Structures are given as structure tokens and as C-alpha cells.
Amino acid sequence: VFSPLPNPSRPDLRFQVPTRRIYLQLPRCRLSVTAGDSIRPPPPATRGRASPATATATAVPLLPRPREILAIGSPSFLRGIKVQVGANMSSKKIELDHKDMVHDSAIDYYGKRLATASSDSTVKITNIGGASAPSQLVATLTGHYGPVWRVGWAHPKYGSILASCGYDGRVIVWKEAATGQWSQLHVFDNHKASVNSIAWAPYELGLCLACGSSDGTISVISMRLDTGGCEAATIERAHPVGVTAVSWAPAAALGSMVGSDQLVHKIVSGGFDCVVKVWEFVNGGWKLESALVSDMHKECVRDVSWAPVLGLAKSTIASASQDGKVVIWTSGKGGGKWEGKLMRDFEAPVWRVSWSLTGNILSVAAGEGDITLWKESSDGQWESLWTKASEEPPQEEQAIEEAMQ
């Protein structure tokens, strides 16, 4: 998944694919994460429940300063992260210490801390450390009563805040008061089934979190740090058979520049009903703007991602499906009709799609470890920029750098 950092010098990536290793890739530093000896296969996906198979691996490149990190992982017993740094390739290991499958991971805004979610019902936070500084487990957060599917860091403008969701139907927002001292800021337990996806809103819209659940509803939680208040708006029957993914639209309106006073409050969602829907906040409530129904998605939608606009004249959404298809939806300025175009049939389940910061590169994670970067050419065709089609790390670090240019 491409991480939405403001004004970075380079785009960064975050993939999600089913594989048995995690790799962290820096321009001059390769980090590899290997699974433990004992790997338990995830149970099959069932309707109304996000199984570990649907929350498979995570790959996260983040831009802590000028560096670039790329990680690719999977649900497995992760006993540690082996890091090889520098010309002499000295090694270090990050112990995750989870007792069961790891379903998701997220690196914070500055690239210093790693949060992981596991079937052992915990969220663990680890200081990554540098080439010579040791990594350290700094916190184990308990509060869920079942597998934890997703974790996500809020924008640092609001402090050190982390959100998690899980099979127990709870969404927990955690806040760090002092270094390593975490507490539950809010616990939202109104959902009646597993919460499968969470997404923080653009920081311009405030401290808001969208949550998609197997009970068919979408909740938007708005928090006030000054008063400690919390309000939740619910979209009932958003996807009657279950919500699988949510993503926020960019805060900037079409054709406007970053920093404009004209803000957009929209969410795109995908579900087990094979439909992509766009929601807009108008007159104090969330309303359905468009239901993007087509025969291109014949199985459940696994992920949705709204592309940044940055002065462009159209809105763009990518949707990925269990049937292997990635569809690009576009709409012109003024809220015109959404039009869908099949980008590619990967002939294998597509787990994640994500846009670069500029919205011109799309990352796709599909099948058993296939990761690809795509860019639209002037004639409207999508061209592959880079491919990783095995569980081994890229042989040449230059491959990713060339794809980013």
C-alpha cells in the first residue's frame, strides 16, 4: 500500500500479499524477515467473517527521512526480523514475540516504530532501531477478545495514536501518554460482528476513523482530544452481507491545490456483495453517492483505494477482487458518473491495491506473492513498471528505484 506522506521526496509502498517471508528493502540496506519453523495454514474464508486469509501479508515501505523501506510479509509465526545493514552486512534481529499468526503490520509516520496485529489477541509495538541500535519491544496492548485483523497509525499531528480492529467486533483507539505507556483512548464496540477494515481520514478532516464490519455497516468515529469526546455516525446496510474494505477520498477537492479551504468528505467501500460504493457526508449525515455495480467483479471485493488528486481533473478509485480483477473507476469534476475499466485480470485473488502519493503509480498484490507496479500510459493502457513474482527479495535494489522514477 502506498503510504500517504505529505510532500516526500520519493513515493513509498505498502503491499499486502500471501507469502512466507517479510523483506525490508532500503537503497543500501536489505532487511529480511523469515517465518518460524512452525507455520499454521489459515482457515478458509467464510462469509461474514474476515479470515486470516483475507488479512494476509503486509509489505510496508515508509519514508523515515531520505530512506525508503519496503516490507513484504504474511500470516505466520514470526519469531524475529533479521536485518542486514551496510557493506559488511552485519545482522540484527527484531523479536516480535507473538504467540500466533500475525495478520497486519504498520510502521509509524517517522519509520521508527512497528505495530503488529495477531491472532493472539494482542497488538505489539516495537522500536525498529537503526543499523547499530538494538530493536526493542516497548509495549504489548491487550483489549481484544479474539484475532486482531488490522492496525493503523494516526497522523502525528494528533500525537502518538494507534487504532486496531478485530474479530470481536471492537475498534480500540490507543494513545501513548509517556514513552511506552499506552492506554485505551476510546473503545468502540457497537458492531455486531467482526470489524475487517479501518482507515484514518486525511488529517485535514480531523481525528476520524472509518470502520467496515461483517455486520454490513460502516462506522465513522470522530474524536476530540481537547474534550475527550467521541461521536460515531453509522451507515446502515452499507453492504448487507459484509464490508471488507474502506478508504478515504483525498481531502482536497478536484482541481484545487493542497491547503485549500474546500474539503471533501467521501469514503469508498467494498464488500462481500461484489459491489464498490461511494459515500458522501452531506447535510450532517452520510449518503450513498454512487453504487459502482458491474459484471467485472464476480466475487467479493478485497480492497479499495482512492487515488490522490493533487490538482488533477478527475477522481480515481482502484478496486481489487477475489476473482483476480483490478478495476479502475474514474469520475470527472462536478460529481459526474463513475466509469469502470478493467485494468488487468491477474487470474488469482488480488489482496491489496494502493496508489503512490502523486496518484500515477498503482501497486497490486495478488496470488501467492506476485507484487507489481503499474503506470497508465498516454493512450490509456496500463504498463508494468516492476514485478516481484517470487518469495525471494529483489536481486537488484536499483529495480525499485527505477520504477519510482
| Domain-embedded: residue 46 | yes
| Domain-embedded: residue 4 | no
Are the beta carbons of 230 and 224 closer than 8 angstroms? yes
Q: Which of 3-12, 150-159, 383-392 has the lowest mean pLDDT?
A: 3-12
pLDDT tens string 287-340:
999 999 888 899 999 999 999 876 667 889 999 999 999 999 998 876 678 999
pLDDT (0 to 100) of residue 25:
37
Place of cell 528505484: 401
For residue 97, the tally of other CB atoms under 10 A from its CB is 16
Are the beta carbons of 199 and 207 closer than 8 angstroms? no
Q: Say yes or no to pLDDT of 358 above 90.
A: no
Q: Is 69 helix (H, G, I), strand (E, B) or coil?
A: coil
- Across all residues in the chain, what is the average pLDDT? 76
Tell me the HSE value of 299 on the side-chain side, using a 13 A CA sphere. 17
| Domain-embedded: residue 12 | no
Q: What are phi and psi of 224, to 5 degrees?
A: -120, 115
Of the chain, the percentage scoring pLDDT greater than 70 comes to: 69
Is the Cα dihedral 38, 43, 44, 50 positive or negative? Answer: negative
Q: Containing H/E element for 19?
A: none
Q: What are phi and psi of 304, to 5 degrees?
A: -135, 150
Quote the cell numbers at residue 212. 467496515
- What distance separates the 2 farthest-apart alpha carbons in the chain? 61
Place of cell 528493502: 25
Phi-psi region of 229 (alpha: psi -120 to 50; beta: other; left: phi over 0): beta
Q: What is the DSSP letter of 404?
A: H
pTM over 0.85: no
Range of the domain at 286: 21-404
Q: Say yes or no to pLDDT of 35 above 80.
A: no
Give me the number of domains the chain comprises: 1
| Domain-embedded: residue 82 | yes
pLDDT (0 to 100) of residue 228:
83
| Domain-embedded: residue 3 | no
pLDDT (0 to 100) of residue 104:
83
Question: 314-321 and 230-235: which strand pairing?
Answer: unpaired
Q: Say yes or no to pLDDT of 200 above 60.
A: yes
Mean pLDDT of 248-256: 81
Cα separation, 348 vs 16, whole angstroms: 14
| Domain-embedded: residue 16 | no
Q: Is 206 exposed, middle or buried (0-12, 13-18, 19+ CB in 10 A)?
A: middle
Cα separation, 194 vs 164, whole angstroms: 12
Residue 210 CA to chain centroid, in angstroms? 12
Q: Which residues of 225-240 are buried (b: 16+ CB within 10 A; e: fewer)?
A: eeeeebeeebbeebbe
Q: Say yes or no to pLDDT of 256 above 70.
A: no
Q: What is the DSSP letter of 10?
A: S
| Domain-embedded: residue 1 | no
Place of cell 478485497: 302
Cα separation, 309 vs 306, whole angstroms: 9
| Domain-embedded: residue 103 | yes
Q: What are phi and psi of 54, to 5 degrees?
A: -85, -15
Q: Say yes or no to pLDDT of 82 above 80.
A: no
pLDDT (0 to 100) of residue 30:
35
pLDDT tens string 146-192:
999 999 999 999 999 999 999 999 999 999 988 879 999 999 999 99
pLDDT (0 to 100) of residue 258:
56
Cα separation, 96 vs 60, whole angstroms: 16
CATH number at residue 131: 2.130.10.10
Quote the cell numbers at residue 198. 479501518
Q: Say yes or no to pLDDT of 106 above 60.
A: yes
pLDDT (0 to 100) of residue 335:
66
